[in-house]
A and B are shown apart, each in its own frame.
Chain A
Amino acid sequence: MGEDAESPKINHTFLRDYVTEADVISTVEFNQTGDLLATGDKGGRVVIFQRETESKGESEEAGEVGDSGEYNVYSTFQSHEPDFDYLKSLEIEEKINKIRWLPQQNAAHFLLSTNDKTVKLWKVSERDKRPEGYNLKDEEGRIKDVSTITSLRVQNSLPCGFTVPVLKPTDLMVEVRPRRVFANGHTYHINSISVNSDGETYLSADDLRINMWHLDITDRSFSILCDPDLFSAEFPPHHCHVFVYSSSKGTLRLCDMRASALCDKHTKLFTPFTNKSFHHQCKVSNRETQFFLSGSVVSECPAHPQVHEYLRSKLCSLYENDCIFDKFECVWNSSDSVIMTGAYNSFFRMFDRETGRGVTLEAWRENSKPRAVLRTRRVYTGGKRRRGDVGVDSLDFTKKILHMAWHPAENIIAIAATNNLYIFQDRVNPDAQTQ
Chain B
Amino acid sequence: MFPKGTKRKFSDAGEEAVGGGGGDQGPSAASSSSSSAAAAAARTLTSSYSLQRQSLLDMSLIKLQLCHMLVEPNLCRSVLIANTVRQIQEEMTQDGTWQIMTQALAAAQCPADRLVATEVLCRQTDPAAQAGQSPKPFSVSGVEEGYHSEEVVMDGDVETEVTMSSLSPASPHASSASYLAGPFGMRPCWEEEDDDDEEEEGDCEEDEEEDSEECASEGEEAEQDHLRADSRTGEQVFGTFEIKHPAPPPDPALDELFSDVDPSYYDLDTVLTGMQSAPKMGPYDLLESLSSHGPTALSSSSSCRSDLNELDHIMEIIVGS
What is the interface of chain A, defined by CB distance below 8 A to chain B? Answer: 85, 88-93, 116, 188-189, 191, 206-208, 228, 231, 248, 275-282, 285, 312-317, 319-320, 322, 325, 381-382
| Smallest beta-carbon distance A285→chain B, Å | 7
15 pairs from A and B in contact (CB 8 Å cutoff) = A88-B72, A90-B72, A90-B265, A92-B71, A93-B71, A207-B79, A275-B22, A280-B21, A281-B80, A281-B83, A312-B26, A320-B1, A320-B59, A325-B77, A325-B80
- The tally of CB-CB contacts under 8 A between chains A and B is 95
B32 at the interface (CB under 8 A from A): no
- Report chain A residues within 8 Å CB of B21: 275, 277-280, 315
Task: Report which of B27, B55, B83 forms a contact with A381, defined as CB distance below 8 A.
Answer: B27
- CB pair A312 B1 closer than 8 Å: no
- Report chain B residues within 8 Å CB of A322: 63, 77
B317 at the interface (CB under 8 A from A): no
Task: Report which of A189, A228, A282, A320 forms a contact with B80, defined as CB distance below 8 A.
Answer: A282
- Report chain A residues within 8 Å CB of B128: none
Task: Report which of A282, A313, A319 forms a contact with B16, defined as CB distance below 8 A.
Answer: A313
Q: How far is the CA of A248 from the CA of B81 in the complex (A)?
A: 13
| Smallest beta-carbon distance A274→chain B, Å | 11
| Smallest beta-carbon distance A80→chain B, Å | 14
Interface residues of B in 42-69 (CB under 8 A from A): 52, 55-56, 59, 63
- Report chain B residues within 8 Å CB of A208: 75
| Smallest beta-carbon distance B255→chain A, Å | 13
- Report chain B residues within 8 Å CB of A313: 15-16, 19, 26-28
- Known A189-B75, A279-B21; judge A316-B268 contact (CB<8 A): no
Q: How far is the CA of A85 from the CA of B88 in the complex (A)?
A: 34
0 or 1 for each of B11-28: is its CB under 8 Å from A? (1 = yes): 000011001111101111
- Known A89-B268, A277-B20; judge A316-B75 contact (CB<8 A): no
- CB pair B23 A231 closer than 8 Å: no
What is the interface of chain B, defined by CB distance below 8 A to chain A? Answer: 1, 15-16, 19-23, 25-28, 52, 55-56, 59, 63, 70-72, 74-77, 79-80, 83-84, 87-88, 265, 268-269, 272
- CB pair A316 B15 closer than 8 Å: yes
Q: How far is the CA of A266 from the CA of B83 in the complex (A)?
A: 25
| Smallest beta-carbon distance B288→chain A, Å | 15
- CB pair A207 B70 closer than 8 Å: no
- Summarize A's interface: helix, strand, loop or mixed: mixed
- Report chain B residues within 8 Å CB of A316: 1, 15, 19, 52, 55-56
- Report chain B residues within 8 Å CB of A191: 76
- CB pair B27 A89 closer than 8 Å: no
Q: How far is the CA of A291 from the CA of B265 in the complex (A)?
A: 38
Q: How far is the CA of A206 from the CA of B79 in the complex (A)?
A: 14
| Smallest beta-carbon distance A402→chain B, Å | 14
Q: How far is the CA of A357 from the CA of B52 in the complex (A)?
A: 35
Q: How far is the CA of A239 from the CA of B187 in the complex (A)?
A: 58
- Report chain B residues within 8 Å CB of A231: 76
- CB pair A278 B88 closer than 8 Å: yes
| Smallest beta-carbon distance B225→chain A, Å | 23
Task: Report which of B20, B28, B56 forms a contact with A319, defined as CB distance below 8 A.
Answer: B56
- Report chain B residues within 8 Å CB of A207: 74-76, 79
- CB pair A312 B71 closer than 8 Å: no
- Report chain A residues within 8 Å CB of B268: 88-90
Q: How far is the CA of A320 from the CA of B52 in the complex (A)?
A: 12
Q: How far is the CA of A208 from the CA of B258 in the complex (A)?
A: 14
- CB pair A312 B25 closer than 8 Å: yes
- Report chain A residues within 8 Å CB of B16: 313
- CB pair B77 A90 closer than 8 Å: no
Nearest A residue to B1, CB-CB: A320
Q: How far is the CA of A208 from the CA of B261 in the complex (A)?
A: 14
Q: Which 3 A-B pairs have the closest CB atoms?
A: A277-B21, A277-B22, A207-B75
- Report chain B residues within 8 Å CB of A315: 19, 21
Residue among B19, B55, B71, B76 with most chain A CB within 10 A:
B76
Q: How far is the CA of A206 from the CA of B223 in the complex (A)?
A: 44
Q: How far is the CA of A188 from the CA of B73 in the complex (A)?
A: 9
Q: How far is the CA of A191 from the CA of B77 in the complex (A)?
A: 13
- Known A313-B15, A315-B19, A320-B59; judge A91-B52 contact (CB<8 A): no
| Smallest beta-carbon distance B224→chain A, Å | 27
- CB pair B70 A91 closer than 8 Å: yes
Nearest B residue to A229, CB-CB: B79
- CB pair A89 B56 closer than 8 Å: no
Q: How far is the CA of A319 from the CA of B1 in the complex (A)?
A: 11
